[in-house]
């Protein structure tokens, strides 16, 4: 334990003086005039005792490995007024609530830092250029790449792995550059999916279409998806019908409605109209088409052997479901609030009961036969 005294009455406790603690928080706390007491925890596997710390602290900062956050927050809560816990804080909302309920007079806050790097200044300058619409970042945490086996590469100790631990840094940098919380988007694979579904579904009812109809419909569908996404947006539609702009939730729903309507009426309508160009004498798949629809309309009649297959299937499925229910029953032993354990217990009994009924149905049918 080390102390830096400024003799101004404000006391801060810094738990963890690794790279983040010593290079960021210690400097900042000293700059704001705190008398800083540090607890050195250089060995992540060793729960360093803080019994030697004396007095009351105005603020505490916990920047130890993730799996030690709960331990140290609980240990120092009785003599600290405000406790800052490095992201990602605690593993679950239940643990946050339990900690707050146990120490009602202490305020707990999750925090994160962004150490200054030269690239940040460069990005600041780039983001001021008017005609830039996007910035692609290849991010490498230089000189601090975690080694395999280190706590941050262990899912249980880091609560998810390196990606979960480092993502808040990149996210906050995007807020810094764009001035607001950025909206993340991904390439919409539904553009292709919806276009493919139209000829597949309409083809079950419209039998006579040219051979080129499905793929031309798909190409038209892609155009419709693009038009509905980038041109006829929910905001444009709102201006047409004379209402104010949609909320974010309403805009998402309206975008889906407009896209589906476009595919049903435009893409689907085009597929139906291609039947006007159909000529049976030029169709080389007449026999295959007739066979397909005849097979589609033929009812399936199970013979007596099918009953035996059903019994075997129910026997195996019932056993699998009962094993799964037994496994979930064990999850009720995990330390959780009473209502959490009861949820696991209820789900386990329901799943086990379904498996039991599947197994029991075999005996009933055997007696009936």
C-alpha–C-alpha distance, residues 237 and 243, integer Å: 9
**Structural domain boundaries in the chain:** 2-111, 118-178, 190-297, 305-368
pLDDT tens digit string along 23-61?
788 888 888 888 888 887 555 444 456 777 788 899 999
Q: Quick one: pLDDT band at residue 324, thresholds 50, 70, 90? A: very high
Rg (alpha carbons) of the chain, rounded to whole number: 32
Instruction: Indicate the class that CATH gives domain 2-111.
Output: alpha beta
pTM of the entire predicted model = 0.42
% of the chain surpassing 90 pLDDT:
8
**Which residues are CB-neighbours of 262 under 8 A, at least 6 positions away?**
224, 225, 227, 228, 232
Q: Quick one: which of 95, 119, 127 has its CA closest to 108?
A: 95
The DSSP bridge partners found for residue 36 are 4, 12
| Burial class, 234, CB count within 10 angstroms (exposed 0-12 / middle 13-18 / buried 19+) | buried
Query: Do residues 59 and 34 make contact, with C-beta atoms less than 8 angstroms apart?
Result: yes
pLDDT given at position 353: 92
C-alpha–C-alpha distance, residues 337 and 94, integer Å: 8
pLDDT tens digit string along 53-89?
788 899 999 888 888 888 888 888 889 999 998 877 8
Query: Do residues 353 and 316 make contact, with C-beta atoms less than 8 angstroms apart?
Result: no
Q: Which two tokens stand for residue 216?
A: 């031309």
Average pLDDT of the chain to the nearest whole number: 77
Q: Which two tokens stand for residue 43?
A: 């060995």
From the CB of residue 134, how many other CB atoms can be counted at a distance below 10 Å? 4
pLDDT given at position 1: 52
Mean pLDDT of 136-160: 62
Q: Quick one: which of 253, 183, 263 has its CA closest to 222?
A: 263
Helix (H) or strand (E) holding 35: strand 35-39
pLDDT tens digit string along 158-168?
766 555 656 66
């Amino acid at each position: 334990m080390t102390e830096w005294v400024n003799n101004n009455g404000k006391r801060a406790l810094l738990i963890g003086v690794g790279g983040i603690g010593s290079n960021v928080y210690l400097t900042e706390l000293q700059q704001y005039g705190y008398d800083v007491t540090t607890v050195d925890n250089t060995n992540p596997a060793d729960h360093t005792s803080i019994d030697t710390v004396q007095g009351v602290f105005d603020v505490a900062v916990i920047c130890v490995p993730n799996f030690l956050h709960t331990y140290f927050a609980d240990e120092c809560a009785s003599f600290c007024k405000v406790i800052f816990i490095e992201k990602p804080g605690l593993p679950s909302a239940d643990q946050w609530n339990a900690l707050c309920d146990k120490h009602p007079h202490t305020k707990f806050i999750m925090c994160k830092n962004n150490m200054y790097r030269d690239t940040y200044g460069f990005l600041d300058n780039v983001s001021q250029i008017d005609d830039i619409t996007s910035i692609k970042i290849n991010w490498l945490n230089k000189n601090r790449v975690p080694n395999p086996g280190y706590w941050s590469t262990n899912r249980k100790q880091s609560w998810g792995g390196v990606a979960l631990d480092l993502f808040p840094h990149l996210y906050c940098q995007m807020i810094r550059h764009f001035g607001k919380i950025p909206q993340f988007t991904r390439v919409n694979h539904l553009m292709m999916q919806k276009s493919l579904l139209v000829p597949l579904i309409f083809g079950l009812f419209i039998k006579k279409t040219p051979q080129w109809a499905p793929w031309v419909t798909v190409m038209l569908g892609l155009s419709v998806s693009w038009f509905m996404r980038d041109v006829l947006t929910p905001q444009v539609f709102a201006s047409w019908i004379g209402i104010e702009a949609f909320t974010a939730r309403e805009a998402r729903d309206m975008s889906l409605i407009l896209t589906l309507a476009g595919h049903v009426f435009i893409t689907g309508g085009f597929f139906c109209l291609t039947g006007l160009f159909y000529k049976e004498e030029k169709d080389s798949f007449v026999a295959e088409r007739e066979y397909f629809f005849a097979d589609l309309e033929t009812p399936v009649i199970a013979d007596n052997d099918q009953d035996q297959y059903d019994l075997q299937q129910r026997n195996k499925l019932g056993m699998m479901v009962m094993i799964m229910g037994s496994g979930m029953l064990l999850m009720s032993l995990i330390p959780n609030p009473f209502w959490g354990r009861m949820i696991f217990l209820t789900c386990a009994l329901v799943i086990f009961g379904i498996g039991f009924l599947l197994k029991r149905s075999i005996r009933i049918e055997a007696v009936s036969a």
